[in-house]
Structures are given as C-alpha cells and as structure tokens.
Structure 1
Amino acid sequence: MTNPLLFFVELSRQPKWVVIWVAMLLAVNIASLLFWDEYVAKIIFATFLISATAMMLMFSMVGYQRVLGLAHILWMPLLYFVIREIPIAEGSYQAYLIMLAACNSISLVFDVRDVWLHFRSED
C-alpha cells in the first residue's frame, strides 16, 4: 500500500491547472464551515470528509489513477440538496451554494470522463 499523503506529491506533478483546480475545489468545499448554522453546510462538509477519505484510501491501494474520480460519487446526491437549497437561501450563503454547485458539477464532468476512460482502457 502507498502512503496516502503521497497523493499530494503526485498531485503536484500534474499540470498546473489541475493543481489549481483541486485547490479551488478544496477551498470551496471547506468553505462550508463558514455557514455551519445551515444544515446543508453540514451535509457539504460531511460529504467532503467522506469523499476525501475515500480518495486517500483508493490512492493508497491503486496509486494516482483516473479511477480516483469514483471518490466523488457522493457529490451527485449532494448536488440535489445544494440545488434544492439555492432558491430559499439568501445573500452570501446563496452565492456560496451557487459557486459550490458549479464547481462540483464541473468536477463531476471530469470525474465521469476519467472513470469511463479508466475502465474503457482496462478492457
């Protein structure tokens, strides 16, 4: 098994835009702590922790591969809660939810593509 902390070493070897994108995803998901009084913020943060843990476990087993996108599978139901909350949210919380939904949705497009390519290449 690979040390899961080496994930960040492997990430730093990726193109600069990937490193920036991952840093932005981390920041926007962790920013849920700023809205801790909101129940959806708690769901966002819990989903982030579960996904990050899953990714570290997967990395320790298979290394840095496209299949790591599977760790974001919980972002699909998370988007349901976030999108449902946007119309009733207000101010900076609403802006945050819109940004989170946009960022995580874009990331899911990359993840679905990566996972598909991973399994397609193993045929």
Structure 2
Amino acid sequence: MIPVYVRQAEAVRKQLIGGTKEECLGTLKFLHLYILCVKNEYAGHGIAAEMCKRMQKIAISQNCEKLSAIATNHYAQIIFKNLGFDFIKSISYEDYIDPVTGNKIFKDMPKPHEKMVFAVKTL
C-alpha cells in the first residue's frame, strides 16, 4: 500500500504539472530542482539564490534547454522570479482540497506562504 503522504504529493504534482515534466516542458533536456532549502540561521544571506545560479550553470554545461522547480514557499518564489523563471501554474494553499483525503491539508500555512508554483526557465 502506498502511504497517504506519497499519494498526496503525487496529487499535488499532477495538479501543478499535469502529465510528466517532459510533456509539460516539451523537452527531455531539462534540470529539475527537487528541494531548495537553507538552514534558518543562514537564511537571508543569498545562499539559496547562489545555489540556483549554480544549478543554472550546471544545466547550461549539460546542454539543458530548461530549468524547472516546484516552489512551495514565498521566499523561494521570489528567488525564482528574480532569476527569470516563469510561473506556469500555481495552487493556492487556502483553496486546495486534497483529492486523497478530501481535506484542506494546507489551510494552516503561515504567512507569507500563500501558494505553490511550478516555475520554469528557458535557457
């Protein structure tokens, strides 16, 4: 049996991306960032932005055509926007109803986190 949290994560991914990343991005040549996080004590020092810039350099060196990420917090979304990513689709935390449980599983997200986005940059 697949755990509930795995089914929930897949449901969110499907709602944001639709089919596969390859189908959504229109290419097999992409780099997808799965997790971007910095320890709280180091937040606000540009570390996450620098990691994203390095990710882009790696993608270019590997002849990728696109970069993608699912940004689940406000601060990551600012970084991606500042680095030229487009937000293809978003899901409002307040309105999202989990199809697995029927519950509003993100209803208590703290401010300023209001949505998650599928971010894409063409290289």
The TM-score with structure 2 as length reference comes to 0.27
The TM-score with structure 1 as length reference comes to 0.27
Identify the structure with the greater strand proportion. 2
